[in-house]
Structure 1
Amino acid sequence: MEAQLAKILLYFDVFSYPLTREELMQFSGLPEERASQVEESLERMAAKGWIKQEGGFYYIGPGDHFVKRRIDGNLLAQKRMKAAQRYSRIISWFPFVRGVFLSGSISKGFMADHDDIDYFIITEPGRLWLSRTLLTLFKKIFLLNSYRNFCINYFVDTQNIFIPEQNIFTATEIVFTVPTFNLSMHEEFLKTNSWTLRYYPTFRQNGNHLKENTPLLKVFLEKLLQNSLGDRLENYFLKKSVNYIRKKFAKMSDEEFTKAFSIKPHELRYLPNRQQFRILDEYEKRIKDFEKLTGLNLGPDLVQQIDEK
């Protein structure tokens, strides 16, 4: 059990994020009847100096400020959740949007002052780039191109919700997504990515932040554009978007650009690999350091790197 708990603590330590006993049990898939055993294991690890305990939180890293940082970040996330719900509802009003989930920091219940609110958006097949263009125009015109409450950096369509990179980083990002529009789509998303159960056997977010309604204008626009005109606009916006993004990041080599973006008819992802590699490398290093310090064997490697493009 100590190895099981240590792996979870080590991963969240990469983000300087201490965990409670309850969270450790949720993330590890341990049932409530084993709470006393978990408590004993944590106390033993703390007594040996392997982990630190402060105010009901556990962590491994050296920072004494971790707990205060987490509490402050949790409070800020709660405050900004209203904006996240409001803009999720607005996103859901746009034509061909089929699912809206919160991702990134706010989905973990934590935000730093500089963090944007990230959205994972699922669209109708063949209309991803039309939807994305309309949402981008809204951001540029009405939000003065501000990303703070409206960072729309991840799009897939309903036929491509399987995420191929199977590692603890991607699993964490998937299971922590918070559904704000279309709970059934979120359930399908999790079911399609059932490989995440290897990392989080039981943990799932709830649907407490759902905002559901479909305005008549959305229905009308979808009927208006579900034809050859819509097809032509989709292809046009895809080509224009690729050219715009490539021009915006012209300083990148072709190889760097390919690694930094995933741009396909059914998908748009910014920096899909770069952050994963950095975090997974750091996690693997911490596992090795912890094993050397404690003599524990943390078991099979859960990092599983992804192939670079």
Structure 2
Amino acid sequence: MSLGFSILQTLKYSDYFGFPLTLEEIHLRLIGVHSSRPILVHTINQMLIKRLIEQSGNYYHLPSHSGLVARRHTRAKLSASLITRARSLASRLARLPGVLAIYLTGSLALDNGDDTSDIDLMIITQRGRLWTTRLLLTLATSLLGLRRTPTSHHNSGKLCLNLYLTPSSYLLPSPRRSLYTAYELIQAIPLYDPHNTNSALLAANPWIHSYLPNFPLPTPTGSDPEGRAQPRQYSVRGGSDPIGRTIESLCYRLQLLYMHGKLTREYITPNSAFFHPHDPGKIILHKLTLLK
């Protein structure tokens, strides 16, 4: 893939979300090709001369799509209150047993939400606690009316807890590795992360470089990404003791039973839960015929 083609593909992908990019964003989000900044700037200037792309202020976009710049500014303002809400809710949810970290994902992580956006969250739980913690989070958000459900009519500001991982499952499985998930990982904003799971999570997924070779990934440290010392004593016993393992196994089986007949292409294991029935990235790439 040539650098010019990569730049065009990168802008096409972001254009699908109505999101023009700055020079720095193009450099970090460049699809499939590694490039130094000077060479990138030179190539972009050549593409501007040939009118293959356009520039509006600090933003680059496809030809005749300059209106996306104003849209990006508008969406950034609309996103601000929802991100504030997300931080507030995350601080409350973090008090529940087993929660190791909470990340904001999706459009809001890019300040690209609108007045109908829900709040997508990725939850990192302690080892052996995923399904116990998920049950507690589901009950809490449902009782408080915070959780988005399939039958919800007004989803603005509702929580969508659609991805759960533990330190044992930081490395995403092959079926879940795609350009879309690579972007999701590098864009995710830690709302609660006292143990710096973000560095460990990114370092555990070097495959990201096969899609986004310019993005700087942390170097694996070899230390326990969860931390040896526990931050607090929990009322629900963890997965390292017999009672905790029994509770976790029961929670896993009960939730699998509840989800039976409802699952389509979700990816569920004892240590991970991907509640995206369809990979949006594959749908987007197919529509735009970006990559094979």
TM over 0.5: yes
Q: 1:281 aligns with which of 274, 279, 286?
A: 286
Q: Is the 8 A contact 2:118 2:159 kept in 1?
A: yes
Task: Say if 1:177 and 1:48 are closer, same or farther in 2 by CA, change over 3 A.
Answer: same
Who is 1:82 aligned against? 84
Aligned to 1:98: 100
Alignment of structure 1 residues 10-89 onto 2, 5 Å: 10-28=12-30, 34=38, 38-60=40-62, 63=65, 65-89=67-91
2:123 paired residue number = 121
Does structure 1 residue 219 correspond to structure 2 residue 219? no
- Distance, in Å, in 2 between the alignment partners of 1:144 and 1:201 is 38
User: Identity percentage over the alignment?
Assistant: 24
- Structure 2 letter corresponding to 1:219: Q
On the 8 A contact 2:171/2:205 being kept in 1, the answer is yes
Q: Which of 151, 157, 161 pairs up with 1:152?
A: 161
Cα deviation for residue 121 of structure 1 reads: 0.8
Gaps of 5+ in 2: 149-154, 218-229
Q: CA deviation at 1:62?
A: 5.3
Per the alignment, residue 201 of structure 2 pairs with 189
Match for 2:94: what amino acid? Answer: S
Give the SS at the match of 1:198.
Answer: helix
For the structure 1 residues 13 and 229, does the alpha-carbon distance in structure 2 shift closer, same or farther, using more than 3 Å as the test? same
The answer to which of 227-236 and 116-125 deviates more is 227-236
Distance apart, 1:30 and its partner CA: 5.2
With over 3 angstroms needed to count, the CA separation of the structure-2 counterparts of 1:202 and 1:52, relative to structure 1, is closer
Partners of 1:281 and 1:83 lie apart in 2 by 34
Q: Note closer, same or farther for the CA distance 1:98–1:204 as it changes in structure 2 (3 Å cut).
A: farther
Q: Distance in 2 between matches of 1:40 and 1:276?
A: 29
TM-score by length of 1: 0.75
- Alpha carbons 1:129, 1:238 under 8 Å: kept: yes
> Which position in structure 2 is the counterpart of 1:294?
none
State the distance in 2 between where 1:198 and 1:21 align: 21
Shift of 1:227: 3.6
Contact residue 165 and residue 273 of structure 2 kept, 8 A: yes
Letter in 2 for 1:157: T
Describe the SS at the equivalent of 1:113.
coil
3-state SS of 1:279 partner: helix
* Among 165, 169, 172, the residue aligned to 2:180: 169
Q: 1:201: Cα distance to partner?
A: 3.7
Does the C-alpha gap of structure 1 residues 69 and 101 become closer, same or farther in structure 2, counting only changes over 3 Å?
same
In structure 1, C-alpha distance between the alignment counterparts of 2:213 and 2:231, rounded to whole Å: 41
Q: Verify the 8 A CA contact 1:169 1:280 in the aligned structure 2.
A: no
Q: Which segment drifts farther, 77-86 or 223-232?
A: 223-232
Once the two structures are overlaid, the 10-residue window that deviates more, 265-274 or 90-99, is 265-274
Number of residue pairs matched by the alignment:
266
Give me the whole-angstrom Cα distance separating, in 2, the residues matched to 1:154 and 1:200: 21
Residue 220 of structure 2 corresponds to none
* Alignment RMSD: 2.9
Q: Give the unaligned 5+ runs of structure 1.
A: 206-215, 250-256, 288-302, 305-309
Cα distance in structure 2, aligned partners of 1:218 and 1:282? 48
Tell me the secondary structure at the aligned position of residue 219 of structure 1.
Answer: coil
Q: Normalising by structure 2, report the TM-score.
A: 0.79
Residue aligned with 1:100, SS: strand
CA contact 2:267–2:275 (8 Å) conserved in 1: yes
Show the counterpart of 1:210: none
Distance between the aligned counterparts of 1:233 and 1:226, measured in 2? 11
Shift of 1:64: 5.0
Check the 8 A contact 2:27/2:214 in 1, yes or no.
Answer: no
**Alpha carbons of 1:279 and 1:129: their partners in 2 closer, same or farther (altered >3 Å)?**
same
Output the amino acid matched with 1:228: P
Cα distance between partner residues in 2 of 1:101 and 1:92: 11
**Residue 256 of structure 2 corresponds to residue 242 of structure 1:** yes
* TM-superposition CA deviations, 1:169-218 (whole Å, max 9, x none): 1211111111222352111000000221233345469xxxxxxxxxx996
Letter in 2 for 1:176: Q
Counterparts in 2 of 1:224 and 1:47: CA distance versus 1, 3 Å: closer
Partner SS state of residue 88, structure 1: helix
SS in 2 for 1:18: coil
